[in-house]
Structure 1
């Protein structure tokens, strides 16, 4: 099975940087579904094409319990189209080989990763099964900005009277972010196939919601996509439908004003900093496998909204010192009309980050997103004692403005802060001095990450510290 992605953008060869696959090498990747070969048929600044050829091992699939699916006791387990059709296994391979590109991040070219590119995609021998499949690929990909060409493959060219097979050669053209294009394929190839030839795990709903973020809640074929992607498993379909509906209701939370929104506008970034920050925090939470999380200083719930629609977060606590802000969060999250299942996962509490609160103790993670800079410097030891000492979660994620980067904001004169309520804004060195001390005193390790566009000299606009509790072995 062959998939090609072609960029005709200016300096098209940068496609290789976004994919993190060297254009001068043919590479092979041993995957759970077989071997994926990645190579570049053409590379120039005008046009660059990457190809992924997936070789499925049919004998290995028979032996591996994960890939027996619903046909485990039938002849179809041995005689099938899996080595020849671009089915759900191609989607698995795309997700494994191009994982970083699918996330939409690029350390070397962050603006390009966030920008729509002129792309052409071909996928050979795509199954389009089930009822009313004529034009199905167009119904699925068309609303996402693609010009779709689905060419039916005849059952046998020598016998045209036999008609067409259930397979089509698929070609897509459009100006789409590379990460979005890969996520479209990751979700919609199994939907076209209407079969998942592997064990559908408990996290399948989470995979769908993560890959479908930003486009699936409003897709006109959302119901069909959800049902087919989740292999018609009713409990999962019901859960995903409820969460997608909640996501659609909460989409306006991305418009909640942020502390540095005015400063951000001066740089005209392709993607605003606020959602980048939230996604960076979510990425860190997923990296540590957190399921129970407290967002301390949650404000009106922008991060809570993102966690609420991801079923991997089974216990979510939002705390804030302001009762009125919590009331706004409850209204924005539409908790009054939410189902019992959603309301059982989320708790809003009034609390202060500088006081011990047993309700947030012992969780997988605590998030302090743009919080510490609102605390007086002399109160930081109390914050440290309450969060890292008394609550002692498995991990703590802290984000705060990077004062070094303020030199790039034309609206900020020397010594002024991004928001009037900030008590301080730290340079990278000052932040590292504080975080290193906190980690050492409380038994944590600390890892630093960037958020937003990275300047070679001044770093990123937001700095993130990921603390992990050191456990005794």
Structure 2
């Protein structure tokens, strides 16, 4: 098993700096023991202009068999007994080489160089060669995995036998990677993850801690990689529970990076029940990816801290406002004849649960930015125990509502229940365009607190909003103005409904806008102002640049 890393340099920036980066002296040949053989590091060439470090891994195949307690096959798979002794592991780059890389070049992989701390962060010309790389997916997959990371990829298929070309190519390739923009630490992390992915096998049991290893090695590049799902699935040996956990954490990392927020700020929609506010209109986790999800008790409706009264703390128990709001939404959806519904900012899934009880709704999609909120929703719905036909009707997805998503197109209706007030006002245009300009369902329902009604809450101090995470709360006139402008920009008509007791002086506690696509408008054809289009194009270009830079 063989790998070389080469770089070029000048007298001012000598190529032999590679020795500092790898923490291995160019003038010495060194050997390191591993549990499966011996790793040798040597430098075939080392001067100011060019330096090459070689890693030669001598694998003891018999020792591997003994360590695996006689289990057959590659990585312990129950193949023929002969495969325990006749296999490619001593020669083909695989998870064995990846483990050796992390053990022998551990400091370089972490980007640490105590002698020259400025070196790890500096990209330099790199050329990596692996003469025998198993690639289950062929040269095309190798290209798809490495090219988005800034590598120029040459992957030449190795023939099964040069004497018999009619036999075709083997599953091995000779790989050459070249780049002037990738640091050595990034290069080693790419190899550490992608070598076993291409081999689609590991020589050891994949335990839960492999998720942490993947995320550490994939930091900065894996969240935005176009083949992220394939990489996570293969790296974790297709263990679904681990793969799902990794994807959730990667999506949080991507959203946090996009919004310049900490992951903890993004995934805080379901917190401990520490709410000290009065019974109020907390609504739902926003699912909009702005890092400002509601804190304690932010289920879609009726969770801890949700509305428990129809009035303003008079002590008279009646139908909770959360239930009234949900019933009002269901009534409008039924009146619209919707069958395929989006619950945008679904929180803990109360509305999704109510929709599932009605057979007229054939497809229900709940979207939220919080993994924890979606986990609670899945438990509430008992997705793991649900029958196949019922499970086919519902999907829970993690996503940010301030970014356009092609998968949200084509639905009859979308619900934004107690969502908009959790966004900063400058972010509303992005939400508006993503829902009304890009997704364009035929019906959109938006509910939000009526700030005028707050005076009726006896336990709510004057001037306070109903929940600490609310960025604003609108009067009836402000809400009607915003909704009217949105409808005019995107080809909708809009009507308004009170939710809860309609006080003659201050109006209802919750206000609802019902947007209906105007006749003659195409439901799924993107529409919006030129400024909105340009803004989203800038966002998409920025995301593409960040992905390429990663």
TM-score (structure 1 length as normaliser):
0.55
Match of 1:332 in 2: 291
Q: Distance in 1 between matches of 2:113 and 2:176?
A: 26
Residue 35 of structure 1 is aligned with which of 35, 38, 46? 38
Closer, same or farther: CA 66–194 of 1 in aligned 2, 3 Å: farther
Match of 1:8 in 2: 8
Match of 1:205 in 2: 211
Closer, same or farther: CA 24–206 of 1 in aligned 2, 3 Å: same
Deviation at 1:66? Answer: 8.6
Closer, same or farther: CA 56–114 of 1 in aligned 2, 3 Å: same
Closer, same or farther: CA 30–156 of 1 in aligned 2, 3 Å: same
Residue 189 of structure 2 is aligned with which of 183, 207, 227? 183
Preserved CA contact (<8 Å) 1:250 1:333 = no
Match of 1:22 in 2: 25
Deviation at 1:51? Answer: 0.2
Q: Distance in 2 between matches of 1:28 and 1:134?
A: 32
Deviation at 1:53? Answer: 0.2
Closer, same or farther: CA 116–81 of 1 in aligned 2, 3 Å: same
Q: Distance in 2 between matches of 1:66 and 1:121?
A: 35
Q: Deviations over 1:289-334 (max 9, x none)?
A: xxxxxxxxxxxx47x479x89xxxxxx99xxxxxxxxx99x95275
Q: Distance in 2 between matches of 1:190 and 1:197?
A: 9
Closer, same or farther: CA 106–77 of 1 in aligned 2, 3 Å: same
Q: Deviations over 1:150-176 (max 9, x none)?
A: 111111111111111110110000021
Deviation at 1:112? Answer: 1.5
Q: Deviations over 1:354-403 (max 9, x none)?
A: xxxxxxxxxxxxxxxxxxxxxxxxxxxxxxxxxxxxxxxxxxxxxxxxxx
Q: Distance in 2 between matches of 1:147 and 1:78?
A: 36
Where structure 2 has 5 or more consecutive residues not aligned to the other structure, the ranges are 273-284, 296-346, 348-368, 377-550
Closer, same or farther: CA 154–207 of 1 in aligned 2, 3 Å: same
Match of 2:93 in 1: 86
Residue 252 of structure 2 is aligned with which of 232, 241, 246? 246
SS in 2 for 1:36: strand
Closer, same or farther: CA 79–44 of 1 in aligned 2, 3 Å: same
Match of 2:201 in 1: 195
Q: Deviations over 1:67-118 (max 9, x none)?
A: 9534256423333211111111111111111010000111122221111111
Match of 2:115 in 1: 108
* 1:232 equivalenced with 2:235 (yes/no): no
Residue 97 of structure 1 is aligned with which of 104, 114, 134? 104
Q: How does 1:114-263 map to 2 (within 5 A)?
A: 114-129=121-136, 132-175=137-180, 176-252=182-258, 255=260
Deviation at 1:210? Answer: 0.5
Aligned residues: CA RMSD: 3.0
Match of 2:49 in 1: 46
SS in 2 for 1:169: strand
Q: How does 1:336-415 map to 2 (within 5 A)?
A: 337-340=369-372
Where structure 1 has 5 or more consecutive residues not aligned to the other structure, the ranges are 257-300, 310-315, 318-326, 345-473
Deviation at 1:32? Answer: 2.2
Q: How does 1:269-348 map to 2 (within 5 A)?
A: 301=262, 304=264, 332=291, 334=293, 337-340=369-372
Q: Deviations over 1:32-67 (max 9, x none)?
A: 231100000010111111000000010110111399
Q: Distance in 1 between matches of 2:185 and 2:69?
A: 27
SS in 1 for 2:220: coil
Q: Distance in 1 between matches of 2:108 and 2:375?
A: 34
* 1:65 equivalenced with 2:97 (yes/no): no
Q: Deviations over 1:2-61 (max 9, x none)?
A: 100011133110110111001111100001231100000010111111000000010110
Closer, same or farther: CA 109–67 of 1 in aligned 2, 3 Å: farther
Closer, same or farther: CA 39–110 of 1 in aligned 2, 3 Å: same
Q: Deviations over 1:207-262 (max 9, x none)?
A: 11100000001011111111111111111111111111111111146x46xxxxxx
- How many residue pairs were aligned? 281
Closer, same or farther: CA 113–153 of 1 in aligned 2, 3 Å: same
Closer, same or farther: CA 104–13 of 1 in aligned 2, 3 Å: same
SS in 1 for 2:16: helix
Deviation at 1:134? Answer: 4.0
Q: Distance in 2 between matches of 1:80 and 1:65?
A: 15
